[in-house]
Amino acid sequence: MIGGATGEQEIIRTYLDRLRLDLVVAARITKVHREWSRALMPDQFSRLYLILEGEGRLVVGEQELYPKPGELVYLPADVPVSYETISDNVFRKHWLHFNALIGDRDIGELLTLPYVVPSKAPEEAAALFEQVGAADRDPPGLATPLRLRSALTALFAHYLDSAPPGSVRLSPQQTSESGIVQYIQENLATLPSVEELAAVFGYDLATFMRHFRTEFGLSPKQYIKRARIEWAQRELTATARPMEEIAAAVGMDQSYFSKVFRQVSSVTPSEYRKLYRPHS
């Protein structure tokens, strides 16, 4: 059995690898009016705030929130949201609206994300909001969409990095997928055929292939190949284990392991270890 990240963490990482972020309304700084409020209703887009000053009340679904300066606020699409001021000390905040899609589904369908997190570095978060706004104001050009998406991705990554450990979870309807990934991660050296893997989880082959690609954006064979190489990459950088031992741990002889590793990583295992563990 190979240790490592849990099945749930592997699914989350796979989902985030497929995440596409698109700006709806550019980043701005606003000091809200004393009458700032709205009734509980959903939006088709997500919101991200960085609270700079003041106080206020938010309701997200059934949760009542009172974010403080220095905190990031994520308000998901398709979840009822209301807000209001609670004193003359009103919010001053960075804000933007965006779409966050994994395949053709909103991120909130697949992951449960924390609504309020303390920024690990509020000045950095503010600078990232400014970068999104600056990219949006760039004169239109071939690379403008790339710069904008890159800035927005960096900001969302800051939010995820600031989230407390364990606070990013699979949504309740996705937790059943963790069993498949857990099984793959724990049996990388001895995995059965895809047909047998489907049977282990009660699927016929065609249904399993379709289900797997829908959930993870890869075929089972592609996912297993990537899982094996990513595990090997961690071992190459974190340990001094011999190459043939790492290859055996993912069910390959050393020659085939080197070939597959180079296909996925563009370098050989030895070159990878020198790049990322130079003093080994």
Closest CA to 97 of 143, 165, 30, 144: 30
Contact (Cβ atoms closer than 8 angstroms) between residue 214 and residue 206: no
Q: Kindly report the length of the chain.
A: 280
Per-residue pLDDT band for 175 (boundaries 50, 70, 90) equals: low
Q: For residues 219 and 215, what is the distance between their CA atoms, to the nearest angstrom?
A: 10
**Band of the pLDDT at 29, cuts 50, 70, 90?**
very high
Predicted local distance difference test score (pLDDT) of residue 127: 97
- Give one word for 150, left, alpha or beta, with left for phi > 0 and alpha for psi -120 to 50: alpha
Q: What is the pLDDT of residues 230-254, one digit of tens each?
A: 999 999 999 999 999 999 999 999 9
Indicate the range of 91-95, 97-101, 138-142, 169-173 predicted with least confidence: 169-173
Which pLDDT belongs to residue 185? 85
Residue type, position 38, single letter: R
- Sheet of strand 63-65: strand arrangement: 37-41, 81-84, 57-60, 63-65
> What average pLDDT score do residues 92-120 get?
95
Tokens of 206: 């065609």
Confidence of residue 182 (pLDDT cuts 50, 70, 90): confident
Q: Is the pLDDT of residue 4 over 50?
A: no
Nearest partner of 47 among 82, 12, 11, 18, judged by Cα? 82
| Residue 70: per-residue pLDDT | 98
Mean pLDDT of the region 82-101: 97
* Mean pLDDT for the stretch of residues 267-279: 87
SS3 category, 165: coil
Sorting pLDDT into bands at 50, 70 and 90, what band is 3?
Answer: very low
Residue for token pair 């741990």 = 249
Could you tell me which of 26, 22, 213 has the C-alpha nearest to residue 106?
A: 22
Q: 4-8, 106-110, 172-176: which range is least confident on average?
A: 4-8
Per the prediction, the chain carries an average pLDDT of 91
Residue 202 half-sphere exposure, CB side, CA atoms within 13 Å?
A: 3
pLDDT band for 280, please (50, 70, 90 cuts). Answer: low
- Is the pLDDT at 117 greater than 90? The verdict is yes
